[in-house]
Amino acid sequence: MLDFNHNENQRMIADMIRDFGAKEITPFRKKWDDEQFFPKELFQKLGELGLMGVLVPTEYGGAGFGYDEYVTAIAELSKLDPSVGLSMAAHNSLCTGHILAFGTEEQKQKYLPKLATCKWLGAWGLTEPNTGSDAANMKTVATREGEYFILNGAKNFITHGYSGDVAVVIARTGEVGDSHGMTAFIVEKGTPGFKGGRKEDKLGMRASETAEMIFEDCKVHESQVLGKVGDGFIQSMKVLDGGRISIAALSLGIAEGALEASIQYSKERQQFGQSISKFQGISFKLADMATQVEAAKLMIFKAASLKNQGKTVTLEGAQAKYYASEVAVSVSNEAVQIFGGYGFTKDYPVEKYYRDAKLCTIGEGTSEIQKIVIAREVLKK
């Protein structure tokens, strides 16, 4: 039996984020977006609130919550600024989540308290310039030399690739195309041979840093291997199953924000002697938007519930991510239309939702890749 009512923790988190965001996010989001400024100090404040280690157990300094609370936190942050939601989700799900799922006790004790409080900001490196969805053909290699591995190559489109304090990096330790030929490493900032590269100049999500990570004869001790040598790709696919719920939640926040702004504006905007919400053309748009948002929400919380139960969510996570991300694009598009000419200006929030939403159909597996995953899982049955 699935219970979709918000629990007390979810209500507390939503209220806390709204109060925090009114002071620390909303007044600055346009400036951050215009200047592509990554507000790293903001995430340290979010760490103090427990939002950078939502799923991390309390014994490692985290909040110790489940996926229901996590989805709520991402969605509420993303309503305020999707860039902030994206960075928070990437830190939690990818870097921190990978170490939590596959790290040794020693690795967890060393890294999770710093990540959960955001004393250290996390990055996660899988994608490369020539291998996006085709990750098994990655070119970054790790060559063994005694107790060490020597990493050479580059990763791109990495959230916090420049400003991150620690990264989980997947490198090839076997043959090209071998799903058991890749290994995950924890690499700290300041390790000789590891540096951040060029920052991307982006359409949307401009206050979330996206950059290269470059490895030139980077020497990493074998104690920094996550799990077994050769298991990096398999681990990554499991990490992405949960990560897709994060992007679905990010999409939900964008769609809810765009819908709420559209409802409010449609009631306030007067044309022909009445509010535009009275016109069927507008009210039907709002009806479609609200229905899509509600359907996305149900899919996301179903996936979150299954994840909380420790069940495999490959299918449900892909479905939620695919549907919610497309809804974010559709709803933000209609929001711009409802706002008319004002929707095309930066004076109102919907143009930013419109730009930010597109990333959700691309990051952590494109919509097309989600369809492949969904079809494969459905055909297994």
Residue 245 near residue 313 (C-beta atoms within 8 A): yes
List the structure tokens of 170: 């997947």
Separation of alpha carbons 171 and 187, rounded Å: 12
Active site residue 260: no
Separation of alpha carbons 252 and 75, rounded Å: 6
- 128, 209, 212, 364: the active-site residue: 364
Q: What are the C-alpha distances in Å from 73 to residues 37, 51, 55, 353?
A: 22, 7, 11, 18
The full length of the chain comes to: 381
Residue 104 near residue 222 (C-beta atoms within 8 A): no
Going by their DSSP bridges, the two strands 274-275 and 194-199 should be labelled as: unpaired
Enumerate the active-site residues. Answer: 364
